[in-house]
Amino acid sequence: MKITMAHGSGGESTSALIKDVFSKYFKNEILDKLEDSAVVSGSSKIAVTTDSFVVTPLVFPGGDIGRLSVCGTVNDILMSGATPKYITCGAVLEEGLDIDLLDKIIASMAETAKEAGVIIVTGDTKVIENRGAEPGLIINTSGIGFIDETKESVGPYNLKDGDKLIITGNLGDHHAAILGCRMGIENNIKSDCAPLGDFVGKLKDADIRVHAMRDVTRGGLGTVLNEFASASCCNIELSEEALPVEPSVKEFCGLLGLDPMYMGNEGKAIISVHKDDAERALSLIKSAKYGENAAIIGEVIKNNKPDADNNVILNTKLGGKRIIGLMYGEGLPRIC
Amino acid sequence: MIGADINAIAEQLKNYDGEEVRIMEVCGTHTASISENGIPSMLSPKIKLISGPGCPVCVTVTAVIDKLVELSMREDTVVLTFGDLIRVKGTNKSLADAKADGAHVKMVYSPMETVTMAEKDPDHTYVFAAIGFETTAPVYANVLNEAVNKGLDNVKLLTSLKTMPQVIRWVVNNGGGIDGFIAPGHVAAITGSDIFKALSEELGLPFVVSGFEGEQLLLTIYALLRMKGNKGIKNLYKSVVTSEGNIKAKEMVDKYFEPSDASWRGMGKIQGSGLVLRKEYEKFDAGSRDLDEDHMPPGCSCASVLVGKIKPSDCPMFGKMCTPDNAHGACMVSTEGSCYNYFVSGRK
Amino acid sequence: MCVAIPGTVIALEGTKATVDFSGNKVNAEAGLVDVAVGDKVLVHAGCIIQKMDEQLAKETMDLFKEIEDLMV
């Protein structure tokens, strides 16, 4: 069965689609009321985020657009120091989309939400005409998380002199998996898309002094670190040797002339922690889900002069120094 | 790879205190590797590395881009290109601009895809934007060979093919006092190291054929330092470069192409510095001859950068009006361009 | 542009080769070099442009000695 324009009419077909696919997997007390708005209990301070997902192919090694759409939003909430609670799901379906495929993606979304400890409280579907070859699917998710005001705030402006930077796993996996699919390069690279609540929670419970935290998505580590450096007016020094990159991903990058430093991930975070907590934080992350390849990759060097450049400097394996600038060059295909 | 010795070499390069040495790398892939490895930060200020005219995108004149744009707008034609070329502006438009206007432009990884696509779609002519040096010329010859074997007449090349020895000679005669050359390793894989031997004799300068790893480049720079003031050739990339090169590939190039004069961005026409399709294969040519016009944006110093007269950062537009996101000159567009590499790796 | 990276030929049919780059399998043209399965090769723009001599790749140590012997 395929999606037709009738599925977007608001009539019988729409109700059937919602009942047979979305409600079937998203079952929970709030959503099941099918009201115009979900009414939920809250906290005095909340984090709110939204993100749209347009990745092709819809299913890729290591994940699919459904899992991705939950992970992306949940991780954005986690990175602001909040605990994710609720998410929404807006789906724009293209005419001709296979309903079995949609079913699989929505099931994966529900499963990922369960893993991430969030509930999908409201949703919407629309159908649009087929715009090209392969019928597509676009998903938007918004998320709400609760902030514990007794904890120190985290943010890119908050890096401290001497902080250690921890990357929670290998760079570039998601990007390489998607590009590999698109370019027909056969390999075993899998997307890393995953909700990162486990190690974030462990760091919180252990009172690790986390100063800044960001998921490393589009633009890659190089882009995030430049944002850190300019928001906190500091230099960041990295060790090339310490950067974890899976050998097949590294070679994939070599083939296509890409730099893992600018490759997107969907299940990795870069965390700036107080230097005295770094080793403890590293072993907590390594013992948590999706953190086994974590590594300390660099440190923060506070700038004194207000007009100084805020640079990200890579100490290369060869023994040289290279400035990691913002990402320029080819607009790589969209990967999320 | 070379263990303790590389540290000894690195030390000597850092502490060098003799006469100033100016070393040119002519290959864009060397330029990129030098930046990625942070090599400039490892050298004494008396060792200057200068990026030469070895990025094919950077030396392509605007007439070639204009022709490609024109072809891509034809109803029955599809232009295929490597990614780097797509953003370079012609007189008015880049291929990316043309694409946004609905022209038929496709980015591909390998020129061989031209044959596959043309075979599947006989109603369109597939034109590959065949830019490059000696390394890539045999790949294009191979495309033609396949097209001939398969009897395809909807495969064409718009060529802007250039050769190294002639431009190196031109740079020495018109440039900024180069003491030695890092010879392009992958060009030499095809041509053989002998062509640089002849050039070294003629110009009285040392040439070292180098691989692309950081260690190999350090070793090459060190060798050139020791050879300064003398002619001579050293092949430090023996795993792929022989003295005679890839004979089969050279024969293939010879079969389809012949030497010609070629126009280089900002440098004008250099005698015998290019390759064009032989007369008997003219039907595969999408109109490559006499594409000489070259519109440099006002104020752009790409030409002086390409011959090593000035460093990218000496150009008044560098990093101000001209950045990778808003590139005026071709050297800032290509990821192998010297300006691009200076900019993104913070070289001054 | 002249980027070329080393891989290993894992399959060959006429002039169409499959080359492995640490787990990434790519189709490459083998019309410019005579190769056999197992050969280490250099691939540029989808074409094998040269065979690599692994033994020589390991002998960079000797290069160091050669350079030391160069005229100063």
- Reply yes or no on whether the pLDDT at B4 is more than 90: no
- Per-residue model confidence (pLDDT) at position C61: 57
Distances (CA, A) of A303 to A54, A232, A233, A306: 39, 9, 6, 7
Same domain, A104 and A251: no
Copy the structure tokens of residue A327.
């990402």
> Average pLDDT of B6-24?
93
Q: What is the per-residue pLDDT across B129-148, written as a single tens digit (0 to 9) for each?
A: 999 999 999 999 999 999 99
> Band of the pLDDT at A258, cuts 50, 70, 90?
confident
Which of B292, B284, B60, B55 has the alpha carbon at shortest distance from B158? B284
A182 in reach of chain C (CB within 8 A): no
> Average pLDDT of A202-231?
94
Same domain, A181 and A284: yes
- Inter-residue contact A125 to A18 (CB < 8 Å): yes
Domains of chain B in start order, with CATH, are 4-51+164-235 (3.40.50.11750), 62-163+245-284 (3.40.50.11740), 302-345 (no CATH)
CB atoms within 10 A of CB B56: 25
Please tell me which chains touch B, using 3 or more CB pairs under 8 Å as the contact test.
Answer: A, C
Cβ separation B2–C66 shorter than 8 A: no
Same domain, A273 and A200: yes
Inside any domain, residue A196: yes
- Per-residue model confidence (pLDDT) at position B167: 93
Mean of per-residue pLDDT scores for chain B: 92
Same domain, A289 and A192: yes
Nearest CA in chain C to B185: C2
When mean pLDDT is compared across A133-137, B119-123, B212-216, B254-258, the lowest value belongs to A133-137
Same domain, A188 and A246: yes
Nearest CA in chain B to A328: B324
Alpha-carbon distance B24 to nearest alpha carbon in chain C (angstroms) = 17
> Average pLDDT of B17-39?
93
Percent of chain A with pLDDT strictly greater than 90: 81
Cβ separation C51–B145 shorter than 8 A: no
Q: What is the per-residue pLDDT across C3-27, written as a single tens digit (0 to 9) for each?
A: 888 999 999 999 999 999 999 999 9
> Band of the pLDDT at C72, cuts 50, 70, 90?
very low
Same domain, A135 and A38: yes
Inside any domain, residue A151: no
> Average pLDDT of B118-129?
97
> Average pLDDT of B190-215?
95
**Higher model confidence: residue B305 or residue B243?**
B243
Distances (CA, A) of B131 to A118, A209, A310, A311, B158: 53, 54, 38, 36, 8
> Average pLDDT of A152-177?
94
> Average pLDDT of B213-226?
94
Residues of A whose CB is below 8 A from B5:
none
Provide the CATH number for the domain around residue A36.
3.30.1330.10
When mean pLDDT is compared across A19-23, A71-75, A271-275, B156-160, the lowest value belongs to A19-23
Domain span at A68: 5-146
Same domain, A134 and A233: no
The residue out of A126, A146, A166 marking a domain boundary is A146
Cβ separation A187–C3 shorter than 8 A: no
Q: Which of C33, C46, C64 sits opposite B5 (nearest CB)?
A: C64
Same domain, A139 and A286: no
Same domain, A64 and A10: yes
Q: What is the per-residue pLDDT across B169-202, written as a single tens digit (0 to 9) for each?
A: 999 998 778 999 999 999 999 999 999 999 999 9
Inside any domain, residue A17: yes
- Reply yes or no on whether the pLDDT at B300 is more than 80: yes
Q: Which of residues 48-67 of C touch B (CB under 8 A)?
A: 49-54, 56-57, 59-61, 63-64, 66-67
Cα separation, B128 vs B158, in Å, equals 6
Number of domains, chain A: 2
Alpha-carbon distance A53 to nearest alpha carbon in chain C (angstroms) = 27
- Reply yes or no on whether the pLDDT at B1 is more than 50: no
Same domain, A226 and A270: yes
Where are any strands of DSSP class E within chain A?
Answer: 46-53, 59-60, 63-64, 83-94, 119-128, 137-146, 164-167, 210-215, 234-239, 269-273, 295-302, 312-315, 321-323
Provide the CATH number for the domain around residue A207.
3.90.650.10
The residue out of A146, A179, A203 marking a domain boundary is A146
Confidence (pTM): 0.90
Inside any domain, residue A14: yes
Same domain, A110 and A183: no
Same domain, A139 and A205: no
> Band of the pLDDT at B342, cuts 50, 70, 90?
confident
Residue B81, C-beta contacts closer than 8 angstroms, at least 6 positions apart: B68, B95, B105, B106, B107, B108, B128, B129
Copy the structure tokens of residue B48.
């200057």
Percent of chain C with pLDDT strictly greater than 90: 64
Return the residue in A252, A253, A323 with the most chain B beta carbons within 10 A, the one to mutate for interface testing: A323
Cα separation, A277 vs A324, in Å, equals 26
Cα separation, B40 vs B18, in Å, equals 17
> Average pLDDT of A238-265?
93
A248 in reach of chain C (CB within 8 A): yes
